[in-house]
């Protein structure tokens, strides 16, 4: 039997498509959704998609295509021609196509699109005869030359012209010259004859600049455009975008070749971009922009500021502009119906591109729309309320990083009210930001590297500016609408951004802008309100506002209904504990006692700690510890009070000792005097404390074993504080945690002390017992491997994944800066293991510890308190291996609540997928029962 040929080309058009929405990996987002729109009966110009596999093969085989491709493209093109009733390259009835990129994940503006492919001196005359619109045809032709020579003949060919010498720029100059010579301002004022002449000027210029003639053959144009799209996948800006977004190079892009329809055929034609809901606020109304007599690039490139699509979407800046709803009422109605159909079909907010050709509507693209954090939260909540999506889907609709945006600062409203606005634009990215003004992406990168906060101010942005936009706190542009490049990219990142602030006049060479009577120079401070679109001079103060946002609170509560992991916080002061509690923390997973010596009001206890460290005898040490005791008790008590009703895990002291010894002579003198010794003796004692490798030195439990009086003091502070709170009617629940454990005997040693002090405090306060737990950190590989033994005494485990990573890799936490960046760049490690758990090895150690610990003590409570406890991927891993809780810094608590919920949903969905078939008939009754149960729970 002959081997079946692989399918590389997927047709779509008329009433049927070869592909469907689920085929994004193969057809890219654009190709898959075009197919889906055809399948649900929407008007889509016919075309075909060349798969991502061709892109991968193209790069693997030295930029050669699979041999079957040519025939498959020919066959698909024939079908398109049949459907559209026109022929590609035909001298009487020519078909034109657009060639567009489409990766699996959307990469707005990062790759190439070429329109009007197939036009030459012959086909254009046929098109004029057919449409009777010479001006439009010549305009399309000159646009093709401009776009194609830039994208295909220059960029894809690897030519890197000097600044301002690129072919596109040179052609634009010719256009300007032509306008000047005709005494007109707008492109649209040039006549058909002018444009016809311009085409010949363009062709001559292309030959002069690039040394090769512009291709006349339509088929050559099409293949050139296809290759350029594949080339653009490996272009600098696409690579750098993928790096930021974590998109693998191996995915490749698909190419969609689609029949052209024209929005620039006169006043009954138009083009636009729209969202099924407002992507900046999440509000549920059809939101978009359109331009009459224009092609899609005019809207997206921000060259002309577009009109609002409907009346409800008008703002004070756009009030005076005509909406599509009033200008083309019938077509608008049809479009509005389609957007409802699409949202109901996809169960999500979509972003659509459409073109109206002489009154006839065509859908050119649809995809799940990018949205900022606040909008994502609002849409998820609303769609859940509207019964469009389940609560599991709702919690999956917000990226953990987007939640972060809700936690982002806003301008202090009191100050903002009294500040005068110097400019207004469109509110494209949320929140407030303040920084120094720079006028180029390169400067933004350079200044940010020096640690300066910058605001990038540009006429408009383009994909070349991507790194500068990333480095900036916020972006301000003079031109463009809500779907311009700057707005799309900033929204995707949740970055503060204002676009289309038309009143600012930028002087790039002299690096300043003017607005009204104000001049703002490079380096001057500027403040933006990206939610309102207002610009202020100077540095306005910022505040955080998330906890009071009702959407945020409601969304978090949805997450809590779904998640299984508990979320605690790492906090060591009453203030941090209160903050974390407001963010939803359900206890403290790590109270680092040594932190009371760093922060506010730390001077007195720090002095006493130093005294304790530099003590030489038990008596000296005891006397210093006695003085330290009231400070420790206060801090412990205040923190438990702030977390009342929830557990607080107190870790016994774990400081690198020598770090606490003062280096300044005056401080050493004071310390010596307090200890009643000479400076020389103190210096000698300090010298003895020096360690070659303090991270593996005299720290953690080792300290408690060698100096039991330290553990005694801390444990007494904890139990006495608990006893006092109990007497006050509070509900404290302390957990005492031993750090840096490697052997079960270490814990046994400390338990003797803990139990003795417990009994002493009970006697002092007349209590029978004080409820508490005693457990250990698992942060040394030996502890993980002997967890079964350790669990014989420890009542809980908490993974210290900072140290576990350090000890597991043998990478010093403090010294990775010199080599880790190179490891990441060379892809020796896929990511920084101190940020995301290395599941292959450190994760394996954790799994061994979980299994070992629970083999001895089945109800062993296990958590994580290393930095990874707030990182979404690591949280998912913790969920998978059956931890009870994660603990992270206060500001990451909401993110951890969301990530835990998403981990639970993933598990649920994977489980459903697995059991779906066998369950169907056999256990009908049981299924019913379960459904009832869950329904009752709600």
d(CA 461, CA 792): 62
Question: Residue 630 Cβ, how far from ligand PEP at the closest point, in Å?
Answer: 24
Q: Which stretch binds ligand PEP (CB under 6 A): 96-104, 248-256, 364-372, 798-806?
A: 798-806
Max Cα-Cα span within the chain: 106
Q: Which two tokens stand for residue 442?
A: 């390169």
Q: Which stretch binds Mg ion (CB under 5 A): 323-331, 473-481, 802-810, 918-926?
A: 802-810
- What 3-state DSSP class applies to 857? coil
**Does 655 engage in binding with ligand PEP (CB under 6 A)?**
no
The one among 463, 800, 869, 894 contacting Mg ion by CB under 5 A: 800
**Does 800 engage in binding with ligand PEP (CB under 6 A)?**
yes
Q: For residue 319, which phi and psi values (nearest 5 degrees)?
A: -50, -40
Nearer Cβ to ligand PEP (149/798): 798
**Does 867 engage in binding with Mg ion (CB under 5 A)?**
no
Query: Among 395, 560, 401, which residue's Cα sits nearest to residue 909?
Result: 395
d(CA 639, CA 634): 9
**What angle, 0 to 180 degrees and rounded to 10, lies between the N-to-C axes of helices 134-148 and 167-182?**
150
Q: Which residues pair with 438 in a beta bridge?
A: 456
d(CA 876, CA 888): 14
Residue 154 contacts which entry, ligand PEP, Mg ion, none (Cβ below 5-8 A, type-dependent)? none
**Does 779 engage in binding with ligand PEP (CB under 6 A)?**
yes
Sequence-ordered list of residues with C-beta below 8 angstroms from that of 929, at least 6 positions apart, any chain: none
Does residue 865 have an active-site annotation?
A: yes
**Does 803 engage in binding with Mg ion (CB under 5 A)?**
yes
Q: Which residues pair with 735 in a beta bridge?
A: 649, 773
Catalytic residue, chosen from 384, 408, 485, 772, is 485
Does residue 878 have an active-site annotation?
A: no
Q: Which stretch binds ligand PEP (CB under 6 A): 442-450, 595-603, 796-804, 914-922?
A: 796-804
Catalytic residue, chosen from 55, 366, 614, 865, is 865
Question: Residue 796 Cβ, how far from ligand PEP at the closest point, in Å?
Answer: 14
d(CA 71, CA 77): 10
Quick count: other Cβ atoms within 10 Å of Cβ 659?
A: 10
Contact characters 755-794, Mg ion, x per CB under 5 A: ------------------------x---------------
Nearer Cβ to Mg ion (20/813): 813
Question: Residue 651 Cβ, how far from ligand PEP at the closest point, in Å?
Answer: 8
d(CA 505, CA 515): 6
Total of chain residues touching ligand PEP, rule CB under 6 A:
10
**Does 802 engage in binding with ligand PEP (CB under 6 A)?**
yes
Residue 758 parent element (H or E): helix 744-765
Q: Which residues pair with 861 in a beta bridge?
A: 796
**Does 382 engage in binding with Mg ion (CB under 5 A)?**
no
> Please, are residues 526 and 435 in contact by the beta-carbon 8 Å criterion?
yes
Question: Residue 477 Cβ, how far from ligand PEP at the closest point, in Å?
Answer: 43
Nearer Cβ to ligand PEP (654/720): 654
> Please, are residues 453 and 495 in contact by the beta-carbon 8 Å criterion?
no
The one among 391, 453, 592, 730 contacting ligand PEP by CB under 6 A: 592
Residue ranges with strand state E in 586-741: 588-592, 647-651, 733-738
Residue 865 contacts which entry, ligand PEP, Mg ion, none (Cβ below 5-8 A, type-dependent)? ligand PEP
Sequence-ordered list of residues with C-beta below 8 angstroms from that of 743, at least 6 positions apart, any chain: 782, 783, 786
Q: For residue 864, which phi and psi values (nearest 5 degrees)?
A: -135, 140
> Please, are residues 899 and 872 in contact by the beta-carbon 8 Å criterion?
yes
Question: Residue 811 Cβ, how far from ligand PEP at the closest point, in Å?
Answer: 13
Q: Which stretch binds ligand PEP (CB under 6 A): 483-491, 530-538, 656-664, 800-808?
A: 800-808
The one among 803, 838, 871, 876 contacting ligand PEP by CB under 6 A: 803
**Does 593 engage in binding with ligand PEP (CB under 6 A)?**
no
Nearer Cβ to Mg ion (482/865): 865
Footprint of ligand PEP on 850-889 (CB under 6 A) = 865-866
d(CA 725, CA 83): 80
Residue 529 contacts which entry, Mg ion, ligand PEP, none (Cβ below 5-8 A, type-dependent)? none
Site residues (CB under 6 A) for ligand PEP? 590, 592, 654, 779, 800-803, 865-866
Catalytic residue set: 485, 865
Site residues (CB under 5 A) for Mg ion? 779, 800, 803
């Amino acid at each position: 039997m002959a081997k079946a040929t692989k399918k590389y080309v997927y047709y779509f058009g008329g009433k049927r498509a070869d592909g469907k929405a689920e085929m994004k990996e193969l057809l890219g987002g654009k190709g898959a959704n075009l197919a889906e729109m055809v399948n649900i009966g929407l008007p889509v110009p016919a075309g075909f998609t060349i798969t991502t596999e061709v892109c991968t093969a193209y790069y693997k085989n030295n930029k050669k295509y699979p041999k079957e491709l040519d025939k498959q493209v020919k066959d698909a093109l024939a079908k398109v021609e049949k459907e559209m009733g026109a022929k590609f390259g035909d001298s009487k009835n020519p078909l034109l196509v657009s060639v567009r990129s489409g990766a699996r994940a959307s990469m707005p503006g990062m790759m190439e699109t070429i329109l009007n492919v197939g036009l030459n001196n012959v086909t254009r005359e046929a098109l004029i005869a057919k449409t009777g619109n010479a001006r439009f045809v010549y305009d399309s032709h000159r646009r093709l030359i401009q776009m194609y020579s830039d994208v295909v003949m220059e960029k894809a060919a690897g030519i890197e012209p000097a600044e301002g010498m690129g072919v596109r720029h040179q052609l634009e100059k010719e256009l300007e010259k032509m306008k000047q010579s005709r005494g007109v301002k707008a492109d649209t004022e040039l006549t058909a004859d002018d444009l016809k002449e311009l085409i010949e000027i363009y062709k001559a210029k292309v030959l002069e600049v690039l040394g090769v003639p512009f291709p006349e053959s339509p088929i050559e144009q099409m293949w050139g455009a296809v290759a350029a799209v594949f080339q653009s996948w490996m272009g600098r800006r696409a690579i750098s975008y993928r790096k930021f977004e974590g998109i693998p190079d191996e995915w490749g892009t698909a190419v969609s070749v689609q029949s052209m329809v024209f929005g620039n055929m006169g006043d009954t034609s138009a083009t636009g971009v729209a969202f099924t809901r407002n992507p900046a606020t999440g509000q549920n109304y059809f939101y978009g922009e359109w331009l009459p007599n224009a092609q899609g690039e005019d809207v997206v490139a921000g060259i002309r500021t577009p009109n609002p699509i409907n009346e409800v979407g008008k703002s004070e800046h756009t009030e005076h502009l005509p909406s599509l709803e009033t200008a083309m009422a019938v077509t608008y109605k049809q479009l509005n119906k389609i957007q409802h159909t699409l949202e109901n079909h996809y169960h999500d907010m979509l972003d659509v591109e459409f073109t109206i050709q002489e009154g006839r509507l065509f859908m050119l693209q649809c995809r799940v729309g990018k949205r900022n954090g606040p909008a994502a939260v609002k849409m998820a909540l609303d769609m859940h309320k509207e019964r469009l999506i389940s609560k599991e889907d709702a919690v999956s609709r917000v990226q953990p990083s987007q939640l972060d945006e809700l936690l982002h600062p806003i301008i202090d409203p009191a100050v903002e009210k009294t500040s005068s606005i110097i400019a207004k634009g469109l509110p494209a990215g949320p929140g407030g930001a303040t920084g120094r003004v720079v006028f180029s992406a390169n400067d933004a990168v350079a200044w940010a590297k020096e640690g300066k906060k910058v605001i990038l101010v540009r006429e408009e942005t383009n994909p070349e500016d991507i790194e500068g936009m990333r480095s900036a706190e916020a972006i301000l542009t003079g031109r463009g609408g809500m779907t311009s490049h700057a707005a799309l990219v900033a929204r995707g990142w949740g970055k503060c951004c204002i676009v289309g602030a038309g009143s600012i006049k930028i002087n790039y060479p002299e690096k300043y802008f003017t607005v009204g009577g104000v001049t703002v120079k490079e380096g001057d401070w500027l403040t933006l309100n990206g939610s309102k679109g207002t610009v202020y001079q100077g540095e306005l103060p910022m505040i955080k506002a998330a906890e009071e946002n009702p959407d945020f609170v409601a969304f978090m509560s949805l997450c809590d209904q779904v998640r299984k992991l508990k979320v605690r916080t790492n906090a060591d002061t009453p203030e941090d504990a209160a903050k974390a509690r407001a963010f939803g923390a359900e206890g403290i997973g790590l109270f680092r006692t040594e932190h009371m010596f760093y922060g506010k009001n730390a001077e007195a206890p720090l002095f006493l700690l130093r005294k304790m460290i530099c003590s030489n005898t038990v008596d000296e040490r005891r006397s210093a510890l006695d003085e330290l005791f009231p400070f420790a008790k206060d801090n412990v008590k205040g923190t438990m009070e702030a977390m009342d009703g929830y557990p607080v895990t107190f870790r016994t002291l774990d400081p690198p000792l020598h770090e606490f010894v003062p280096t300044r002579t005056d401080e050493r003198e004071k310390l010596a005097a307090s200890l009643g010794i000479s400076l020389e003796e103190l210096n000698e004692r300090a010298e003895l404390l020096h360690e070659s490798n303090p991270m593996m030195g005299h720290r953690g439990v080792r300290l408690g074993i060698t100096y039991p009086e330290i553990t005694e003091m801390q444990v007494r502070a904890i139990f006495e504080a608990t006893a006092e709170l109990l007497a006050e009617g509070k509900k404290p629940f302390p957990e005492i945690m031993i750090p840096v454990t490697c052997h079960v005997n270490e814990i046994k040693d400390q338990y003797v002390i803990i139990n003795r002090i417990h009994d002493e405090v009970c006697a002092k306060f007349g209590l029978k017992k004080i409820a508490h737990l005693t457990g250990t950190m698992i942060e040394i590989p030996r502890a993980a491997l002997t967890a079964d033994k350790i669990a014989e005494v420890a009542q809980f485990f908490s993974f210290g994944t900072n140290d576990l990573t350090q000890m597991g890799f043998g990478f010093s936490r403090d010294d990775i800066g010199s080599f880790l960046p190179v490891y990441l760049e060379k892809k020796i490690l896929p990511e920084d293991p101190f940020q995301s758990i290395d599941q292959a090895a450190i994760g394996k150690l954790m799994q061994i510890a979980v299994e070992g610990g629970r083999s001895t003590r089945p109800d062993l409570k296990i958590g994580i308190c290393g930095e990874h406890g707030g990182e979404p991927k690591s949280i998912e891993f913790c969920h998978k291996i059956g931890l009870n809780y994660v603990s992270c810094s206060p500001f990451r608590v909401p993110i951890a609540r969301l990530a835990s919920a998403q981990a639970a949903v993933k598990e649920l969905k994977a489980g459903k997928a697995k059991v779906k078939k066998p369950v169907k008939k056999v256990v009908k009754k049981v299924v019913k029962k379960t459904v009832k149960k869950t329904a009752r729970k709600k």
